[in-house]
Structure 1
Amino acid sequence: MRRFFAPLLAVGVLASGAARAEDTLSPLHFQSQGWSGTIDKAAAQRGFAVYEGVCASCHSLHGLHYRDLEGLGLTPAQVAGIAANVRLANGQPATLNSRFKTPGAISMGGATPPDLSNIVAQRPGGTRYVYDFLTGFGPPPAGVSLLPGHFYNAVFPGGQVSMPAVLRDNAVTYADGAKASTAQEAADVAEFLTWASDPNLSARHAVGLRAVLFFAFLTIVALLVKRRIWREEG
């Protein structure tokens, strides 16, 4: 990821489709977590703006097509507007059916920035790991010498990573009026990447909850029928 402001396009398009802003930092929580969790669309929309403005220059999202953004609550027209302003490697504008644009070849200290499509599923702690990693940069402890081109991150195994700290206060402007602090940006992009890793998470959890309630109902009915049969036989 690199430091630069989010494209005005992303901010403008999200303005009309923004979900309600909620405080996700006091205390820190992610609506998507837990067996009944659902994607926080307001946070995920903000996270998309962070991805587009800060992350997309280095990190790909091969698992997503632009049409998938409708799952965040955006209309087809809004998503088409986002795609139309993206130039693919062949010079043509993206369409709803295009995969997210792949950034040019980039090397950070010899390391290639990973694709973020399944980063949440691939890392222990998933959503929280992404947040902790993005907010874990700082000066190295006394006695720790960094390798050339590396930066200290308290969360990353070994403490040294070739990616610099990329988030900062007001790196993007949120359409819903939320304060774009570094912590908020990290939380929002973590929620967006959670959705990117599993766009059907909300639907799966909803089906699972209905299934649990249905089988609980059947269990109660079965117990009542059994008691009645025993009573009649007795």
Structure 2
Amino acid sequence: MAATIGRICGSNLLKTNSCLSRQQVNNFATSKAWTSGQKKLLASAGILTGGIGALIFALEQSVQASGTEVHPPSMPWSHKGPIASLDHASVRRGYEVYKQVCSACHSLRFIAYRNLVGVTHTEAEAKAEAEGVMVQDGPDDAGNYFTRPGKLSDYIPGPYPNEEAARAANNGAYPPDLSYIVSARHGGEDYVFSLLTGYHEAPAGVVLREGQYFNPYFAGGAIGMGQVLYNEVIEYEDGTPATASQLAKDVSTFLKWTSEPEHDDRKRMVIKAFGIFTFLLVISYYVKRHQWSSLKSRKIAFVPKKK
């Protein structure tokens, strides 16, 4: 102990060095001031970011709260489960509803007749559906356009040749294309179902122009499309009672499929991936538990070299 103290005293470690101490204090103060500035900068950035986020959230909530439409309730759809598929019988009936009711105003210009094969129709039935419409084609060798029966590769034709004709036939309102309407609307198929079944008399204070109808699920409440689904407005091929709610449910399911044709394939891949990863997890546990147990439990001994 005495020898250690002597070595420390002999190496001048206990002597006071005023210049070195002053320099260390200045460096410490400078670093302390810079750290404090950084903290203030970060705090200001955090407060600014939080304030902007809170402002955006408040504005979004105020816009949603000031909307005049009613948000659709969540329906117990059979395809909402993580591995649940679409009801293809309902999809086929929904195609019947679209063909006999909705196609008078709305188009499905991104759906071809070949897309129906294996989903709602057999190949022969889809060919018959396609051949039931006349499609403009051409030009031919003489440079003329002609009409021909549809083919599986043809897309489902719309009711109007262009947007101007559609607006002229609907008092200025443009019926949207329904190919991706479920994905394009907040609420998805819940919105479509609620809109089709949500027509009411306009409440007091709501003024509707000529050709408008009141629907609380539509933004603003005034919609140019009148109620089109009533009990027994069509007859299903399979004999299902065609109530208004059944019609709305089936066409909503059909439009869910047109918006996501890969719906069932995606969930099928989830099932396959779950099975594969479960198998790999079991194999990994076996390798970890049994093959590596000898390595994890080994004892490493260091034997000094003999001189």
CA distance in structure 2 between the partners assigned to 1:121 and 1:37 by the alignment? 18
Deviations 1:90-112 (A, max 9, x none): 54221111100111232233211
**One of 106, 115, 129 as aligned partner of 2:166:** 106
**One of 136, 151, 170 as aligned partner of 1:95:** 151
Contact 1:109 1:150 in 2 (8 A): no
Q: Which has the higher contact order (CA 8 A, sep 6+)?
A: 1
- The 5 A counterparts of 1:71-220 are 71-89=118-136, 91-104=147-160, 105-107=165-167, 108-220=170-282
CA distance in structure 1 between the partners assigned to 2:216 and 2:244 by the alignment? 16
Once the two structures are overlaid, the 10-residue window that deviates more, 179-188 or 124-133, is 124-133
Contact 1:32 1:39 in 2 (8 A): yes
CA distance in structure 1 between the partners assigned to 2:222 and 2:135 by the alignment? 33
Deviations 1:158-204 (A, max 9, x none): 11111111111111111112110000000000000111111121011
Q: Over the residues paired in the alignment, what is the CA RMSD in angstroms?
A: 1.8
Contact 1:66 1:100 in 2 (8 A): yes
Aligned-residue identity in percent: 37
Larger radius of gyration: 2
User: More helix by proportion, 1 or 2?
Assistant: 2
Shift of 1:230: 4.6
CA distance in structure 2 between the partners assigned to 1:178 and 1:111 by the alignment? 33
TM (norm. structure 1) is: 0.83
Q: Which residue of 2 aligns with 1:227?
A: 289
CA distance in structure 1 between the partners assigned to 2:166 and 2:193 by the alignment? 23
CA distance in structure 1 between the partners assigned to 2:286 and 2:230 by the alignment? 60
Q: Which residue of 1 aligns with 2:93?
A: 46
CA distance in structure 1 between the partners assigned to 2:121 and 2:262 by the alignment? 16
CA distance in structure 2 between the partners assigned to 1:66 and 1:49 by the alignment? 14
TM (norm. structure 2) is: 0.64
Runs (5+) with no aligned partner, structure 2: 1-74, 137-145, 298-307
Contact 1:138 1:153 in 2 (8 A): yes
Aligned length: 208
Shift of 1:155: 0.8
SS of residue matched to 1:88: strand
**One of 104, 108, 121 as aligned partner of 1:61:** 108
CA distance in structure 1 between the partners assigned to 2:275 and 2:187 by the alignment? 28
Runs (5+) with no aligned partner, structure 1: 1-27
